[in-house]
């Protein structure tokens, strides 16, 4: 039951309306039940993995606090020592054991050669669990004592499948203050609903249409010339952006209608003027997680240039392996690490030129990310350098009108990002129009989704790309 399915069109309004009618703390129970039901729609077998992860993490957090690493224990003792000084062998042992458990479980499901599938959302809620435990272990956050609160923190359905990877200081704190969430605020509901609608447009009008020629070329690259391969690769940059950003906007819109504020995940990434800047704009919840829980603990940039380079490569190697099991994912991560080590930030070039160079680098690495194997990558590169001409443009499976819609969609996204970069907010502009103008805009967007959106058989839209990671 993805966000773009007809089933979700029934599921969410029911969940939302009941949620609005319930008194404060009963909302936790209702949202947890809804979140578990949402996960079970993908397969009831996935629920056991989430519940197991939740119980282990919750229990470990309480154990770490009891052993003296949490802020509560520090306050009770009245000591002024740092959180680091309150650690001991037992707390380190518990923390290490539980982190190893989570990493081992994730690796088992990702890398096993049997027919056991990776549970939906496991990559995201595992990293979220490790981040939570690390904060408790460091003494920068208290353990959550209420199991229902923590279970909802892990399972909250808007962010369950593809993130963002939430922090306890953001989502868990809002769950604890559920009584005071502005769930019935009309202005919030309007803003959130518009964000949800824009996410639908990104996914169904742009990303899924781009997926048609991209999938055609990448699945049968030998039938195409180098021109089509390059075109498909450029298009893929916008497919993955609109797909993942579309999901994030839908997730944030859905959560916003429930009164929650999820972390933002994107900040106009293709306007970056360095690879480092790109990762300050792309998948922000993952990049900040890697920074706080991998890169900085390794030493960050504090131990010299060589150690910094090693730390960057380790961090982005982990990022690559988190995304997938093939060696091409590891190569993709390492290339981004190299791109950060030899960054162009200080090059004496116009900013516009830097942005073009960075986009070309990012897009070239998207080819590494998108292929099925290193063998396919070699074949596609050979196709570019030895067969650079149009060979089967019609085989990309879009008609003239479809290409026009695709190009207009990409131009719209580029225009929105460019204006947002300059401080112009489309949502604010729309919400400031009068009621008639707003209704016309909403009707136009909804009509575009219904009439021009790309739907599969029986209106089952294609899955979100990051669900598989």
Average predicted confidence (pLDDT) for the chain: 90
**Predicted confidence band at 108 (pLDDT cuts at 50, 70, 90)?**
very high
The tokens describing 341, both together, are 């080590």
- For residue 13, the Cα-to-chain-centroid distance in whole angstroms is 24
Mean pLDDT of 187-212: 94
Question: Do 140 and 76 have their domain in common?
Answer: yes
Residue 59 lies in a domain: yes
Question: Do 111 and 197 have their domain in common?
Answer: no
Q: What pLDDT score was predicted for residue 467?
A: 63
Residue 289 lies in a domain: no
CA 462/CA 366 separation, integer angstroms: 20
**Predicted confidence band at 82 (pLDDT cuts at 50, 70, 90)?**
very low
Count how many domains the chain has.
2
Indicate whether 86 pLDDT > 60. Answer: no
CB 287 within 8 A of CB 279: yes
Pick from 180, 204, 219: which residue ends a domain? Answer: 180
Question: Do 113 and 198 have their domain in common?
Answer: no
**Predicted confidence band at 387 (pLDDT cuts at 50, 70, 90)?**
very high
Q: What pLDDT score was predicted for residue 460?
A: 41
Q: Which of 60-64, 199-203, 314-318, 458-462 has the lowest mean pLDDT?
A: 458-462
Q: What pLDDT score was predicted for residue 465?
A: 66
CA 12/CA 32 separation, integer angstroms: 13
Question: Do 192 and 68 have their domain in common?
Answer: no
Task: Supply the DSSP string of 182-245, one letter for each residue.
Answer: -TT-HHHHHHHHHHHHHHHIIIIIIIHHHHHHHHHHHHSGGGS-HHHHHHHHHHHHHHHHHHHH
Question: Do 119 and 210 have their domain in common?
Answer: no
Pick from 157, 180, 203: which residue ends a domain? Answer: 180
Q: What pLDDT score was predicted for residue 179?
A: 87
Residue 241 lies in a domain: yes
* pLDDT tens-digit series, residues 33-65: 999 999 999 999 999 999 999 999 999 999 999
Query: In angstroms, what is the C-alpha Rg of the chain?
Result: 23
Q: What pLDDT score was predicted for residue 341?
A: 93
Residue 282 lies in a domain: no
Read off φ and ψ for residue 68, nearest 5 degrees.
105, 15
Residue 68 lies in a domain: yes
Q: What pLDDT score was predicted for residue 72?
A: 46
Question: Do 349 and 270 have their domain in common?
Answer: yes
Nearest to 249 by CA among 158, 175, 131, 320: 158
Pick from 180, 209, 243: which residue ends a domain? Answer: 180
Mean pLDDT of 203-215: 95
Q: What pLDDT score was predicted for residue 111?
A: 85
Question: Do 150 and 31 have their domain in common?
Answer: yes
Question: Do 163 and 261 have their domain in common?
Answer: no
Residue 283 lies in a domain: no
Mean pLDDT of 57-82: 67
Residue 218 lies in a domain: yes
Question: Do 114 and 39 have their domain in common?
Answer: yes
Question: Do 251 and 393 have their domain in common?
Answer: yes
Q: What burial letters (b/e) apply to 25-59, b meaning 16+ CB within 10 Å?
A: eebbeebbebbbebbebbeeebbebbeebbebbbe
Question: Do 175 and 194 have their domain in common?
Answer: no
Residue 413 lies in a domain: yes
Q: Which domain holds residue 70?
A: 6-180
pTM of the complete model = 0.91
Question: Do 194 and 150 have their domain in common?
Answer: no
CA 311/CA 87 separation, integer angstroms: 25
């Amino acid at each position: 039951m993805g966000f773009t399915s007809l089933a979700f069109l029934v599921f969410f309004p029911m969940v939302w309306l009941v949620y609005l009618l319930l008194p404060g703390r009963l909302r936790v129970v209702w949202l947890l039940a809804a979140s578990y039901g949402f996960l079970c729609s993908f397969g009831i077998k996935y629920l056991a993995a989430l519940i197991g992860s939740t119980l282990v993490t919750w229990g470990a957090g309480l154990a770490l606090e009891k052993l003296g690493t949490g802020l509560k224990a520090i306050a009770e003792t009245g000591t002024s020592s740092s959180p680091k000084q309150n650690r001991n062998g037992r707390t380190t042992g518990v923390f290490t054991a539980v982190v190893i458990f989570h990493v081992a479980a994730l690796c088992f499901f990702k890398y096993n050669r049997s027919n056991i599938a990776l549970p939906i959302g496991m990559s995201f809620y595992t990293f979220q669990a490790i981040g939570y435990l690390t904060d408790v272990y460091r003494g920068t956050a208290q353990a959550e004592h209420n199991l229902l609160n923590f279970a909802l923190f892990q399972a909250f359905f808007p962010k369950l499948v593809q993130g963002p990877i939430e922090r306890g200081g953001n989502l868990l704190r809002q769950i604890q203050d559920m009584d005071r969430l502005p769930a019935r605020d009309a202005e919030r509901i309007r803003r959130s609903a518009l964000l949800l609608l824009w996410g639908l447009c990104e996914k169904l009008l742009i990303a899924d249409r781009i997926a048609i020629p991209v999938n055609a070329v990448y699945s049968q690259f030998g039938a195409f010339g180098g021109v089509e391969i390059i075109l498909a690769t450029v298009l893929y940059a916008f497919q993955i952006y609109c797909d993942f950003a579309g999901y994030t906007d839908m997730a944030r819109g859905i959560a916003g209608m429930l009164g929650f504020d999820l972390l933002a995940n994107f900040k106009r990434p293709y306007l970056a003027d360095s690879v480092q800047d790109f990762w300050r704009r792309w998948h922000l919840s993952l990049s900040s997680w890697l920074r706080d829980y991998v890169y900085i603990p390794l030493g960050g940039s504090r131990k010299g240039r060589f150690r910094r380079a090693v730390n960057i490569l380790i961090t982005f190697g982990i990022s690559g392996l988190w995304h997938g099991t093939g060696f091409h994912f590891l190569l993709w991560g390492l290339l981004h690490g190299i791109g950060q080590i030899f960054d162009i930030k200080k090059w004496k070039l116009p900013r516009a030129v830097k942005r073009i160079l960075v986009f070309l680098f990012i897009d070239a690495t998207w080819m590494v990310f998108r292929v099925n194997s290193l063998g396919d990558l070699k074949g596609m590169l050979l196709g570019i350098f030895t067969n650079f001409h149009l060979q089967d443009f019609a085989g990309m499976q879009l008609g003239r009108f479809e290409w026009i819609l695709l190009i207009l969609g990409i131009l719209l996204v580029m225009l929105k990002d460019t204006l947002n970069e300059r401080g112009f907010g489309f949502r604010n502009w729309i919400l400031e129009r009068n009621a008639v103008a707003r209704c016309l805009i909403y009707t136009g967007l909804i009509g575009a989704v219904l009439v021009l959106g790309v739907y599969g058989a029986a209106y089952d839209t294609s899955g979100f790309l990051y669900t598989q990671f």
